Structure 1
Amino acid sequence: MKFGIMAPHQYPFDEDLGERLRELTGLVEHASNLGYHSVWTINHFLSNLATPQPISMMARLIECSGEMRIGSGILLLPLFNPVHVAEEFATLDQLSGGRVTLGVAAGYREHEFKALGVDMASRFRRLDEGVRLIRDLWSGRPVDFQGEFYSVQADRCGVPPVQPGGPPIYIGAGSQKAVRRAARLGDAWYAPGNSPNPSYLSKHVSAYDEALEEYGRADQVVDRPIGVELYCAPTTEQAVEEALPHARREYYSYAEYPALRWQRDRFDELVRNTLLLGSPELLIERIREYEALGFDHLIFRPMWLGMPVEDARRSLELFAREVMPAFA
């Protein structure tokens, strides 16, 4: 089992963004020194929180992340031209010495698509076409590509990636149809671990595995990542006391968007079924459940809105000392 962190670069607008970003780079460096495997960035436009953009954030994190893999979790690919993404991520791959992963998804916030002039109904077709074009460009050969949305004629990517064939591509997906798309297109399915439905993961893992077999790609998957919310303290009571108010504030901010309104209405279910707030012993037990489902890369947000960075550092330290060795 590998462990990574989601860089929490979303902040209230009344906070000092420069200071928060300095805290974040220090937190990532601390995670690297503690032996965490990866760090991931967030993508939204015109957000209700100050949200620095992921490609710029990844470039900044290269120098403070040691040997960690650096990924986008998740880039909203339909809102970008895939030629731009292919060249940016190949550049990041060069700058990082081959430590980059491209995580993409279709998006869900209507106002982002409207503001950027992209028909939201086309987002899944754009995702499919974009991934295929990016892979072609990373081949190193001149590309002839004529799609519904994008066209390249006998041109090659201006930046060769370090990793052969380019960085791995993870596909974020929630519905069973989207999970099947991830099996067909991606090097991995980036699974969401925050469904309040206790049977969600087992059903969707089965759908993913069946689709991999159907597409003949079972041997091509490089990773089994899942994104969760996690906080570690000496006792579960202390973990809940220190983390829950901040997690609630963050989830309530997401619930301002219609597609995520359920997160406010069902927050207590989220706490019971998905938020990993607890002692090392409890977290080991809960993570074993993910391991039994086949997941081998746990990526978690180490802090939420308003949480002191010192609390996040202590949580990362305790988790690295008492939980990670159980999965070595």
Structure 2
Amino acid sequence: MPGGPRLSVGAPNDPELLVPFARRAEELGFDAIWTQDTLSTANFSLDGLHVLSYLAAVTERLRLGIGVLYSGRRNPAVQARELATIDQLSGGRLIVGVGVGNDYHRETLAALGIATDRPVRRLVEGIGVMRALWSGTEAGYDGELYSFSGIRSQPDPVQRPGPPIWIGARAEPALRRAVRIADGWTGAAPAGMDDFLHQLEFVKRELADQGRDPAGFTISRSLYIAVEDTVEKARQRLIPAFDRAFGGNPVYDAAGMADRVAVFGPPEHCAQRLGELFDAGVDELVLYPMYDRMDQLEAFGELVPAPAAAPNHPA
């Protein structure tokens, strides 16, 4: 995806906020809006793909991202059709995030009859199946888990050869795999900033080692952010928000999480921190508010770079 650094936003999980939030994000100049594919069955959450279909009808320019679809949760042929449908409905604005998910989800998935074995193989072959079915011709695929020939899937996606696929990953083998087979890498918002920067340097080395043009590979990070008058005011508002969101999480420790993973404070301070991430090599940041979502969206709007002025041409 050519162009300079991009700022995007995460969609709220409140049905009443979805449309006003997305329309205002588009007015403010954000590049994309992202939803999540949660595996939780306990807390209220909307299905991310259905939300993108809904938002495709009420926006015109915003790209639509899902981060991330977990391997094995959906049959890749069914998923390819669902994603191609969203790409059609949005006029070619879809971005597809995929990943293997966390180990602690697998017990619940297995209890629901969803295959959880060989998640990496399911991820790799799932991408191959989707790309084959997006080819616009009778497709075939010969893998260990999926093998077929002579199948035509409709609709074709608008984007050719298909919507960009970004892999969510943290471990070095997964990062290396993302560089090898995907169109981009996306860093998770709950990951510590220091860990992310280490992973970013690894990805940049892998791009060079594998001979990939960095211009054809997108690096993104989801980021929790709070804009307030002071750093301390933002921190005090974030602490209970992280406790609500991550209290008891088996992977991410809510204690002290704001200082590890978030950007917060006055607009100029936040803009400086975002600029440091762009300078480090990030192409797109997806900003997630933790509270007062509409008010925070307005505050985020101060961080969106103004579009470049059109050149003056002599009459």
- Normalising by structure 1, we get a TM-score of 0.85
Is residue 263 from structure 1 mapped to residue 253 from structure 2 by the alignment?
yes
Q: Which moved more, 1:240-249 or 1:276-285?
A: 240-249
2:208 maps to 213
1:56 maps to 50
Q: Counterpart of 1:227 in 2: which secondary structure? A: strand
Is residue 156 from structure 1 mapped to residue 156 from structure 2 by the alignment?
no
1:301 to 280, 284, 288: 288
2:275 maps to 288
Is residue 75 from structure 1 mapped to residue 62 from structure 2 by the alignment?
no
Is residue 274 from structure 1 mapped to residue 274 from structure 2 by the alignment?
no
2:300 to 299, 315, 319: 319
The answer on whether the counterparts of 1:42 and 1:54 sit within 8 Å (CA) in structure 2 is yes
2-side partners of 1:145 and 1:188: how far apart? 23
2-side partners of 1:275 and 1:81: how far apart? 34
Over 3 Å counting, the alpha-carbon distance change for 1:125 and 1:21 in structure 2 is: same
1:91 maps to 85
Q: Counterpart of 1:161 in 2: which secondary structure? A: coil
2-side partners of 1:103 and 1:276: how far apart? 23
Is residue 7 from structure 1 mapped to residue 1 from structure 2 by the alignment?
no
The answer on whether the counterparts of 1:232 and 1:316 sit within 8 Å (CA) in structure 2 is no
How far does residue 242 in structure 1 lie from its aligned partner after superposition?
Answer: 3.5
Return the letter of the residue paired with 2:7: F
Over 3 Å counting, the alpha-carbon distance change for 1:102 and 1:197 in structure 2 is: closer
For structure 1, the residue ranges without an aligned partner over 5 or more in a row are 10-19
1-side partners of 2:111 and 2:20: how far apart? 34
Over 3 Å counting, the alpha-carbon distance change for 1:191 and 1:46 in structure 2 is: closer
Aligned positions of 1:114-125 closer than 5 A: 114-125=110-121
Is residue 223 from structure 1 mapped to residue 207 from structure 2 by the alignment?
no
2-side partners of 1:149 and 1:191: how far apart? 28
1-side partners of 2:196 and 2:271: how far apart? 18
How far does residue 6 in structure 1 lie from its aligned partner after superposition?
Answer: 1.5
Return the letter of the residue paired with 1:263: D
How far does residue 116 in structure 1 lie from its aligned partner after superposition?
Answer: 4.1
Return the letter of the residue paired with 1:54: G
Return the letter of the residue paired with 1:133: V
How far does residue 64 in structure 1 lie from its aligned partner after superposition?
Answer: 2.5
C-alpha root-mean-square deviation of aligned residues, in Å? Answer: 2.1
**What CA deviation, in whole Å up to 9, does each residue of 1:296-315 have, x standing for no partner?**
21102123xxx4xxx32222
2-side partners of 1:35 and 1:299: how far apart? 13
1-side partners of 2:169 and 2:268: how far apart? 30
Return the letter of the residue paired with 1:293: A
2:22 maps to 28
**What CA deviation, in whole Å up to 9, does each residue of 1:257-292 have, x standing for no partner?**
x3x2x423xx21x22232112111210221122112
Return the letter of the residue paired with 1:55: L
For structure 2, the residue ranges without an aligned partner over 5 or more in a row are 309-315
Q: Which moved more, 1:91-100 or 1:39-48?
A: 39-48
Over 3 Å counting, the alpha-carbon distance change for 1:182 and 1:131 in structure 2 is: same
How far does residue 193 in structure 1 lie from its aligned partner after superposition?
Answer: 4.3
Over 3 Å counting, the alpha-carbon distance change for 1:197 and 1:232 in structure 2 is: closer
- Normalising by structure 2, we get a TM-score of 0.88
Q: Counterpart of 1:291 in 2: which secondary structure? A: helix
Over 3 Å counting, the alpha-carbon distance change for 1:226 and 1:6 in structure 2 is: same
2-side partners of 1:40 and 1:193: how far apart? 12
How far does residue 117 in structure 1 lie from its aligned partner after superposition?
Answer: 2.9
1:239 to 220, 234, 238: 234
The answer on whether the counterparts of 2:12 and 2:293 sit within 8 Å (CA) in structure 1 is no
2-side partners of 1:318 and 1:153: how far apart? 52
1-side partners of 2:142 and 2:189: how far apart? 36
Q: Percent of aligned pairs with the same residue? A: 30
2-side partners of 1:86 and 1:178: how far apart? 22
Aligned positions of 1:147-186 closer than 5 A: 147-186=143-182
1-side partners of 2:142 and 2:191: how far apart? 38
The answer on whether the counterparts of 1:209 and 1:218 sit within 8 Å (CA) in structure 2 is no
1-side partners of 2:242 and 2:17: how far apart? 19
